[in-house]
Amino acid sequence: MQIIKNIPVFGEPLMDAHAQLENCLRVGKAVRGALMADHHLGYAAPVGAVIARENEISPSEVGFDIACGNKAVLTDLHLDDVSGRMEDIMDKVFRNISFGIGRVSNSRHISGQVDPKDTTDVFDREVWSEIELLKGLKDMAVNQLGTVGSGNHYVDIFHDERGRIWIGVHFGSRGLGHKIASHYIKVGGGKDGINVDPAILDLDTEAGQEYLKCMTLAGDYAYAGRDWVCSEVARILGAQILESVHNHHNYCWAENHGNEFLYVTRKGATPAFHGQRGFVGGTMGEQSVILVGQNSDLSDYALRSTVHGAGRVLSRTQAAGKSKWKKGVKTKISDGCVSQDMMMDWVNKSRVVLRGAGVDESPHCYKRLTEVLDAQDNTIAIKHYLSPIGVAMAGADTFDPYKD
């Protein structure tokens, strides 16, 4: 870890992301900030940033995919129980769960599958009728619950160092979060873009309290969606869930740090208080981890946070080339630096059964997770290494405006 212009930076500093965080800390009542080792440029605020504020919240810093996060569950199965079945299992995962296209849950059409809306009380909350914005979003949210979307969102099946089978998922609040974010960024005077000031909402104002309620709702909605997807994959496997690790990484929490009560936003960063477990995903062809926060000398600098993934080194355009969408159809304009053959060579050597995915999610596009985790030093400890055996993501030709 190094401190650059009063900002703790873990890992190799990316100065464009550092400049973004500097700008965020100049706006409003920001107190502290830090960059995790997977940081990179984002919209208004860098991904991999942690920002602490006094009595205010920034919809820009939380981001468009409110409550994007990870859930991992340990099952009662072992490698021998799925040996020879992975092709069929991943076909069912890809069929039963909606990955972006249509952005409506498949659950009403699959025999034996439980409707996601019947697994949660999130739609019974009074806030849906209390806040005008939410009144027009409820039907969409009901239809999208349990959909995974596209971009870097996934459903994975892993084995750990003892051969035990885990399920891991990564996605957020879908269109609900995107529309909440878009609305309140405008309310806060913010703009959509990379190098723009973050929108700030004072929590003593009606708008600030409204956004806080909407963000909390989106968080509960995202939790419910990830719960349902993990349960559905367990059903496909014929497995029982023994334990789970679940965390947001695009969210704002009210926390005490030292003697200060602060609103701490983690955008692409995982909470890592002492003893707190987290699931951090690698790429489609590499290990993920279950980690636990440590009470170390560097933990305060990190604001009790850690990485949320490996961190990109290639943008989607650099990796896949330029394309344009017209009426839901994708047309290639130019090639990128990662080919389908390159991606599949990596995946096949890792013995992963892959469904969907575009080359903009190839392992070539990311840092190595082991190096990123090493850069977090003694703020975390690794409890389990999870090796992927099945990965499902939206296909390259899936249009989804809600990916992160």
Question: Is 400 inside a domain boundary?
Answer: no
Residue 71 has a pLDDT of 98
Task: Flag whether pLDDT at 401 surpasses 60.
Answer: no
% of the chain beyond a pLDDT of 90: 83
- Beta carbons within 10 angstroms of residue 139's beta carbon: 9
**Distance from C-alpha of 257 to C-alpha of 33, rounded to nearest angstrom:** 12
User: Domain holding 287: CATH number?
Assistant: 3.90.1860.10
Handedness of CA 77, 79, 83, 85 (dihedral sign): positive
| d(C-alpha 134, C-alpha 388), whole Å | 38
SS3 176: helix
- Confidence band (pLDDT; 50, 70, 90) for 103? low
Segments forming the whole domain that contains residue 325: 2-395
pLDDT reading at 290 higher than 60: yes
Q: Is 401 within the bounds of a domain?
A: no
Question: Which of the 8 DSSP states describes residue 114?
Answer: P
Helices and strands of the chain, counted as H and E runs: 12, 20
Q: Is residue 286 part of a domain?
A: yes
Tell me, yes or no, whether 318 lies in a domain. yes
Q: What's the pLDDT at 404?
A: 41
What's the confidence (pLDDT) of residue 328? 65
Q: At what angle do helices 174-187 and 206-237 cross, to 10 degrees?
A: 170
Q: Is a pLDDT exceeding 60 seen at residue 106? A: no
> For the chain, what is the domain count?
1
- Determine the pLDDT at residue 321: 87
Question: Is residue 404 in a domain?
Answer: no
> Is 68 domain-assigned?
yes
SS3 call for 388: strand
Task: Please classify residue 208 by burial: count the beta carbons closer than 10 Å to its beta carbon, then call 0-12 exposed, 13-18 middle and 19+ buried.
Answer: buried
More confident residue, 217 or 258: 217
Q: How far is CA 171 from CA 77, 349, 356, in A?
A: 24, 26, 16
pLDDT at 348: 95
pLDDT band at 34 (very low <50, low <70, confident <90, very high): very high
Confidence tier at 150 by pLDDT (50, 70, 90)? confident
Return d(Cα 25, Cα 6) in angstroms, integer. 10
* Verdict on whether the full-model pTM lies above 0.85: yes
For position 402, what pLDDT does the model report? Answer: 46
Match 């969907």 to its residue by tokens. Answer: 356
Is 195 part of any domain? Answer: yes
Residue 363 has pLDDT above 50, yes or no: yes
Cα distances from 80 to residues 60, 144, 271, in angstroms, run 46, 35, 34
Report the pLDDT value the prediction gives residue 112, as an integer from 0 to 100.
72
**Over 80: is that where the pLDDT of 29 sits?**
yes
**Residue labelled with tokens 């096949």:** 348
195-199 mean pLDDT: 96
Q: DSSP of 190-225, one letter per residue?
A: --SSSSSPPP-EETTSHHHHHHHHHHHHHHHHHHHH
pLDDT of residue 82: 97
Q: Report residue 274's pLDDT band, with 50, 70 and 90 as the boundaries.
A: very high
| Residue 121 counted as domain residue | yes
